[in-house]
Amino acid sequence: MKASAAAVVCLLLAPPAAHAHALVDVQSDLSQREPAVAFEPGIGSPFPAFSLQDPDGQTIDLASLRGKVVVLDVVSTRTAAGSAQSDLMARIQDDVAAGHMADQVELISVALDAEHDTVAMRKSYGPAHGLKPENWVLLGGARDDDPQHLAVQLAAKPVPPGLAPPVTYIVDSAGMLRARFFGLGFDPLNLVVYVNALTNDHHETAAPSVSTPSLWQAVKGLL
Amino acid sequence: MTGLRRRKILTVGASVAAIAVMTGLVSYSPTLYRLFCSVTGYGGTVQQAKSVKFGISRRTVVVRFDTNVAPGLDWEFRPLQAQVTTHLGEPTEVYFYSKNLADHPIVARAIYNVTPFKVGPYFTKTQCFCFTNEVLKPGESARMPVVFYVDPQLAKDANTSDVETITLSYTFFKSADQGPAQDMGARVSAEATQDKALVGEAAKARAQAAAHGDATYATPPMISETAASRGSGTP
């Protein structure tokens, strides 16, 4: 009996040490390991709402991505920098797939150059960079200025000293911006580890829904 | 006259008693409400008595283990048991085995997943080897412990109460940074000591309860290895 109580006490006392390698630990570790990452304070700020279209004309907005962690970048597809960005996104996609997270993570690139980024071009762009359609999409706008509008909103966020675009944004399953990875020199695995920690973080985004008995059920139970 | 006086005294006494009882109820209403909530669980209050009694629940789940090595990493990596049957709330220790097959040291990092995804909020690891850089020297191997428990609330959540099997999956990636990293063998030994007490107490509780015929804790063996297991047998 004493041992039972001791086990329960151990379990109750465990929480401070529980959740080994929780998100906060990963964040702390990456802050030292990855100079290109900037974490948003607290649980982050809401990611700017957007409504864009995939090459098939389907509308994808922020609300439709709820429940998934989103990795998003804004690319200029006809530049060498944009091409390098997409190659990096392809590496991230490969690691996400290897880590069995494809169902939980959505990769999104926003094509900035409406004149150049026609539907046909956007359809062929992914395969050219090894990006697979399972959980990646290149979005454009129903109106020419839609992608630019999002880009302007994102650009309004201050860039930390010493860091420079391009930026890869990490948005959690509740639509909050959690981290920004700057430039092209960061280790994609660092991003994937952070994304994995986010997919496994259920403490701020998804509280367990245990049903509470009604007052009548509670009183009835007492009797 | 005597009868009238007695009735008056009774009336005054009853009134004083009623006022005293009401005053008491008002004074102790927060305490009584908390008592009511703790007994019934009404308002989301944790049921203390129930928690203690069922800290380690009678209900069991099967936890299966899956391991993967990402392309480019020359490591062998596998669970040392295919699955375990564990009670909800019971700290459970399992082991994984990794070996560097290359002729040079390799630094790697692991990530993990718990499926079905809806179980995630109820699956807690108190020790694991994920997210941190681990190094294995050429030909070196390590036996890596993971300690976890499944929250008994799993059985009370209508969304997860039907879950009987959970899969814990790990994937090791080769790190871009192949610089100095913690020696995996040394680190996992130190961490294992910290969690031994937790798991040991739980096992002791089960053993003692079983010896006293408490059916709540009479369970199948904690770790069940199958012949088909990739991790069966010794490394």
- A170 interfacial to chain B (CB closer than 8 Å): no
CB contact under 8 A, A98 and B171: yes
CA angle B135, B139, B145 (to 5 degrees): 55
DSSP conformation letters of A111-148? E--TTT--HHHHHHHHHHTT--TTTEEEEB-SSTTHHH
- B213 interfacial to chain A (CB closer than 8 Å): no
CB contact under 8 A, B52 and A8: yes
Q: Distance between CA atoms of A127 and A134, rounded to whole angstroms?
A: 12
To which H or E segment does residue B85 belong?
Answer: strand B83-87
Dihedral pair phi/psi, residue A48, rounded to 5°: -55, 135
- A204 interfacial to chain B (CB closer than 8 Å): no
Three-class secondary structure of residue B16 per DSSP: helix
pLDDT band at B30 (very low <50, low <70, confident <90, very high): low
- Find all residues with CB under 8 Å of B156, minimum gap 6, and list them: A210, A211
CA distance A4 to chain B (A): 5
Q: Distance between CA atoms of A158 and B4, rounded to whole angstroms?
A: 88
Closest residue in A to B114 (Cα) is A200
Tell me the average pLDDT across B69-91: 95
- B112 interfacial to chain A (CB closer than 8 Å): yes
Q: Distance between CA atoms of B207 and A106, rounded to whole angstroms?
A: 47
Contacting A residues, span 41-100, partner chain B, CB-CB under 8 Å: 95, 98-100
- A223 interfacial to chain B (CB closer than 8 Å): no
pLDDT of residue B132: 87
Name every chain A residue with its beta carbon within 8 A of the beta carbon of B198.
Answer: 7, 10-11, 14
Other C-beta atoms closer than 10 Å to the C-beta of B186 total 9
pLDDT digits (tens, 9 = 90+) for A53-93: 999 889 999 999 999 999 999 999 889 999 999 999 999 99
pLDDT of residue A141: 81
CB contact under 8 A, B40 and A219: yes
Q: Interface pTM (ipTM) of the complex?
A: 0.78
pLDDT digits (tens, 9 = 90+) for A143-174: 777 888 899 899 888 889 999 999 999 999 99
What's the number of CA atoms in the CB half-sphere (13 Å) around residue B98?
31
- A187 interfacial to chain B (CB closer than 8 Å): yes
Q: Which residues pair with B75 in a beta bridge?
A: B100
Name every chain B residue with its beta carbon within 8 A of the beta carbon of A4.
Answer: 55-56, 205, 208-209, 217
Instruction: Look at B94 and B37; give whichever has higher pLDDT.
Output: B94
Residue from the list B89, B126, B171 with its beta carbon closest to the beta carbon of A20: B126
Residue from the list A17, A20, A197 with its beta carbon closest to the beta carbon of B128: A20
Q: Is residue B227 predicted with pLDDT exceeding 80?
A: no
CA distance B42 to chain A (A): 6
Suggest the residue from B107, B131, B166, B222 to mutate for an interface test with chain A (most A CBs closer than 10 A).
B131
CA distances to A28, A40, A82, A108, A176 from A168, in Å: 19, 13, 12, 10, 14
- The chain-wide mean pLDDT, for chain B, equals 75
Tokens linked to A157: 């966020």
Name every chain B residue with its beta carbon within 8 A of the beta carbon of A26.
Answer: 131
Q: Is residue B184 predicted with pLDDT exceeding 50?
A: yes
Sign of the alpha-carbon dihedral angle for A66, A136, B64, B170: negative
Name every chain A residue with its beta carbon within 8 A of the beta carbon of B131.
Answer: 21, 25-26, 29, 193, 196-197
Instruction: Look at B201 and A96; give whichever has higher pLDDT.
Output: A96
